[in-house]
Amino acid sequence: MSRRRRGVLAAGAALLALGLAACTADAQDPPAETGEDGNRAVTIGALSISETAPLWAAVDAGVFAEHGLDVTVQPIQGGAQAMPALINGEVDLTIGQPFGVLRATEQGLPVGIIAGYAESYAEGDDVNSVVAGADTDITRPADLAGAKVAVNSLGAAGDLTIRAAVEQDGGDPDAIEFVEVAFPDAAAQLEAGNIDAAWVPEPFVSMIVGAGGTRVVDPYQAVIPGLPTLVVQATTQTVEQDPELVAAVREALADAFTWAEENDDAVRQTLVDNLELPEEAAANLPLPHFTTTVDQEVIQALADLAVEHEYFQEAPDVDAILVE
């Protein structure tokens, strides 16, 4: 069994254990909590990255309150935290990589995608990239073979698409040594020489490249152009027992993205407030395409790629994962 397969199975076993624990708990949900204004209290787990900006800004602007929702955004580091938090009821919804849902479903956990959130670019500089430090010899995907590459969560879309991009460029994907490093720590790890390259989203791409680093490859774009970077995830129990919440969140997000397009300055101010970016950096930072729509064919391509690279034995049922 390959190191990759062992790592993926270990992650899946941990998720499955969480799912079984959750299933043995009382199936009845407690009464829905309300905020001080009488709106439905909802906790949404999300990464502290630039793509969360429309959510932060729209919550502050009262867009979600207009839909009867009192939203709290709970910072989450990555898929390793997000899925257990969702399964165990620590958050009501999560905004995370679609791969997390595929992996959880493949392990039999009751989760699904209720809406899209953000998409990578099909062309041009993407919103996530593999970057190398200053004075590096790594300039193309094939150069990553034999290198130590950081991702925020092992056994997910980051290392999967990097493997595919390296193989596509003629390199040996099995020669890459992947290590888990939180996005905010990647720059320091590169500078210290502890890693050779890192897969990071904005604003960390611009920060590292701006400091003399090298943009090596945009793996999503190289392998599955337009792949969603983030989707909205919920448990099957929430979908079945609380369809009003699911509908309200979808509608609120759609309005939030429309509002964000018309209030770009307010969205970028949240990058200053929440990520402590300099105002000039926040003003020029590239943001992804925000949409609640999910392209089933693209998610299927991601699932098939996971089978090809032995992350899954067989592709999960994507049609069942995408909640209408």
Condensed to tens digits (0 to 9), the pLDDT of residues 132-152 reads 998 899 999 999 999 999 998
Residue 138, pLDDT score:
97
Residues 116 and 231 occupy one common structural domain: yes
The answer to whether the peptide bond before residue 203 is cis (omega within 30 degrees of 0) is yes
Vertex 267: Cα angle to 254 and 186 (nearest 5)? 105
Residues 140 and 287 occupy one common structural domain: no
Tell whether the model's pLDDT for residue 33 goes beyond 70: no
Tell whether the model's pLDDT for residue 229 goes beyond 70: yes
Which own/partner pairs from 315-318 qualify as long-range (CB within 8 Å, at least 24 positions apart)? 316/102, 316/105, 316/106, 317/105, 318/102
The region of weakest confidence among 96-110, 162-176, 232-246 is 96-110
Rounded Cα–Cα distance for residues 48 and 220 (Å): 20
Q: What domain range is 163 assigned to?
A: 128-223
Residue 24, pLDDT score:
39
Residues 171 and 105 occupy one common structural domain: no
Instruction: Please write the tens of the pLDDT for every residue from 250-295.
Output: 999 999 999 999 999 999 999 999 989 899 989 988 899 999 999 9
Contact 287, 51 (CB under 8 A): yes
Total domains, the chain: 2
Question: How far are the Cα atoms of 4, 5, 142 from residue 174, in angstroms, in the given order?
Answer: 8, 11, 11
Residues 16 and 95 occupy one common structural domain: yes
Contact 302, 287 (CB under 8 A): no
CATH code of the domain containing 94: 3.40.190.10
Residues 186 and 286 occupy one common structural domain: no
